[in-house]
Amino acid sequence: MKRTIIPVKRKTAQSYTIVIGDDCLKKLIVDIKTKKWANRYAIITDSKVKKLYGEKVQKILKKAGIETVLISFIQGEKHKNFKTVQTILDSLFKEEFHRDDGIIALGGGVVGDIAGFVASLYMRGIPYIQIPTTLLAMVDSSVGGKTGVDTKWGKNLIGSFYNPKAVYIKPSYLQTLPKKQLRNGFSEIIKYGIIARPSLLTFLQKNKESLFAAKTKATSKLIAPCVRIKRTMVQVDERENGMRKLLNYGHTIGHAIEKQSHYTVQHGQAISIGMSIINTIAVSKKWMSKKNAETIKKLFKTYGLPTKLPTSFSNVALVNSIKMDKKIKHNKKTFVVATKLGKARLSTSITNQDITKACRKHA
C-alpha cells in the first residue's frame, strides 16, 4: 500500500506527523536517526503485543543500530491504573533512563494512554512515539495527545495532554487482532461517520467481510479519513474547549457504562450503547429523525455492537456515574447529539430524567 503522511499542526508547540502504511517502520527508523528525538527508547507494551510484535520491533530497531529496552505490563483496561504507571516508572529508573531518552508506545489504547502518561511524568516529560496496534488506537487514541489512567473516580479522569513526536500506523498489525477488538474500532469509526462523514457509514455497510478479515486495502480506506477528521478537530481545539468535544458522542454515557461494569463492557460496546441512548433522546426531542436512528442501529447490529444496557445495570448508579464525567461544567451536563448523519452538536438541555427514561428503553 502507498504510504500516507498526515501532518498535525499545533499552535503553541511542535507539530508532528502521522504515518500510515505497512512500511511505516522504515520511516520510523529514518525519523529516529534524522530527528534524534532521544538517545535510546523504552518500548512500552502489554503482555500480548510483546509476544506478537514487541520482540520483533525491538529486533528491527537493534538491526538499525537503535538501542531499546522492552517493558511490558499485563494486558487489559483493568491494568490502566496508577500501579502500572508506578511499576513502569520504576523500570525506567532501574534501566537508568535519562531526560534525553524516550518511549515507544506499542499497543492498543491502554498501552498508548499509559505509555504517554508515563512519558509526560518521567523526569517531567520525555519524548514518546505512538505505534498503535489496534483499530481503536489507530483511528482515535494514538492521535491528539490524551494520556491517562482509570481510577475509582472514573475513566480517564486523571491524565495529561501530552503529544507524541510522531505516530506510525501499520494496518497489517490488525490481521492478528481478535474480532472483539476490531469491533471496538468499528464503533469509533461509526462515530466518525455519524458526527462528520456519512460516506464512512456507506463504506462500512458495503464492506463488512473484508473489514472483519482486516484486509489492508479495506481498513486503510477507513483509517486515513478517520485520522484526518481527528487531526482537524485536535488542530482547532487541542484542549477540548469546543470542537473536540464532538468526539465524545456516546462517550459520556459510554464511560459510565464501562466504569459501572468494572471494565467488563469494552469501550466500543459501551459507546455503541451510549450513542444509541443519546439517539433515543434526540429522536424523542425531534432533533434526529427516526429513520437516521434506525440506520445507525442497523449498522451497530451488522458490526455486532450492542444498543442495550447489560441486564444487571442500575439506572440510578449510571446517572450518578455520568455526573462525575469530565465533560460536566458548572453542573451542566454537555452531551453530544447527532442531528443527522454527518452532523452533530453540543446540548446542555438533556436532563437526568431524559437519560433515565431513555435508559429504560435500552434496558
Q: Show which residues are catalytic.
A: 124, 146, 188, 230, 240, 244, 248, 251, 255, 267
Give the distance from CA 68 to its chain's centroid.
26
Q: Which three cell numbers stand for residue 238?
A: 487541542
Nearer CB in complex with ligand GLY: 32/195: 195
Instruction: Identify which of residues 72 and 187 has a Cβ nearer to ligand GLY in the complex.
Output: 187
* Beta carbon of residue 144, minimum distance to ligand GLY (angstroms, whole number): 4
Residue 247 CB, shortest distance to ligand GLY, in Å, is 4
Q: Contact positions toward ligand GLY, by CB under 6 A?
A: 140, 144, 146, 240, 244, 247
CB of 17 to ligand GLY, least distance (A): 18
Q: Which residue is nearest to ligand GLY (CB)?
A: 247
Grid cell in block for residue 147: 494520556
Considering the complex, state which of residue 54 and residue 112 has its C-beta at the smaller distance from ligand GLY. 112
Q: How far is the CB of 273 from ligand GLY (least distance, A)?
A: 17
Please, which residue, 28 or 139, has the CB nearer to ligand GLY? 139
Cβ pair 59, 70 in contact under 8 A: no
CB–CB of 57/106 below 8 Å?
yes
Q: Which candidate, 198, 135, 181, places its Cα nearest to that of 305?
A: 181
Which residue type occupies 51? K
H or E stretch at 32: helix 24-35
CA 268 to chain centre: 10
- Can you tell me the distance from the alpha carbon of 330 to that of 321, in angstroms, rounded to the nearest whole number? 16
Per-residue HEC secondary structure of 132-157 comes to: ECCHHHHHHHCCCCEEEEEECCEEEE
